[in-house]
Amino acid sequence: MLPEATLAATLVTAVVLLVSGVAKVLDREPLASWEAMGVPEGLRRPELARAHAGAEVALGVLLLALPAPWATGVAVLVVLLFAAYLVLVARLVRRGEQVSCHCFGALGSGTVDRGTVARNVVLLLVAGLAVLDLAVQGWVAPRLGEQAGWVLALAATAVVTVLVVRGSSSSVEEVDQEELDDYLRLPIPDVPVVDEPGGEQRSLREVAAGQAMLLLLLSSGCGSCRQVTARLPEWVEALPGLSVRVVSGIPHAQTVQFEPQWEGLVLYEPQASVGRVFGLMGRPAAVLLGADGLLAGGPVKGYRAIAQFVDDIRDELDDAAR
């Protein structure tokens, strides 16, 4: 294998660790992602989250700075770390849970899916090549000087890629918002749901007929969803003229075992029917259905957006009552 290719693997691995670590440092809710990814509760501590972010940064620096064989040992640790990440995301996908992971901290909170698994497989393979590179070629720093032009080209490509991805993300958000403005008053989708334990599938439009309904799309394995769950009693009481329902991808009996506070509120969505029709595969999310059979607000995603959404609904109800 060409020395340039294995060197590129080492550089990519180091950059991924540095970007991921710094982004996690900037993440305001690091523990939410730990909960979502199924990290044991005893380990979910702020100081450990900060240490984890710092460790990723340190590993990225050490890969480039240490001479062999120390750098090779660091690369082996990185392989083990990436393997652990792969196991976590693969387990979530296998269980069919729809959760968002801040895999790159403040840079994003994409939904864990098969694409996430594929990405982690690639990262694991690249880290494996980094082990080979450091074991055979040795210390990275002297080689960077020998191939400065090639390294600069690789760095420039990486920078341009980041800028393009960031620009693309902003454009998508703007388009989505424009589409949402025209979408709010469309008819309630005719998708199958089960609104009671052991019940038959019915149309969401039928279940919501004649009543305003706030749908909270949650997952029992989602950290941010726990924040929403904690406020459920408060919101149910604050919205007396509204039916508040928790949309779950797990049948009633199993869901209530994991989240007792959802009892009496669960609306089961077979095959993620509600999430798919609204394009809300990540959790938590919310949408408001009107009593007139039309959509009345949302969808919104994330705990903060949902809390603000509920506050706005409460204000509108209070104004209407005056």
* Best mean pLDDT range from 108-112, 179-183, 311-315: 311-315
CA dist 119 and 27 (Å) reads: 21
The greatest distance separating any two alpha carbons of the chain, rounded to the nearest whole angstrom, comes to 77
Q: What is the identity of the amino acid at 7?
A: L
pLDDT at position 82, please? 92
Question: How many angstroms separate the CA atoms of 312 and 94, rounded?
Answer: 37
pLDDT in tens, 120-156: 898 999 899 889 988 888 887 777 766 555 555 555 5
Handedness of CA 212, 217, 218, 219 (dihedral sign): positive
Contact 240, 211 (CB under 8 A): no
The amino acid present at 30, given as its one-letter code, is P
* Token digits of residue 321: 């009552």
**Spatial contact of 233 and 204, defined as CB atoms under 8 Å apart:** no
Question: What is the reported pLDDT for 282?
Answer: 72
Q: Is the pLDDT of residue 208 over 60?
A: yes
Tens of pLDDT, residue by residue over 245-292, are 888 887 777 777 777 888 888 888 887 778 878 877 677 889 988 888
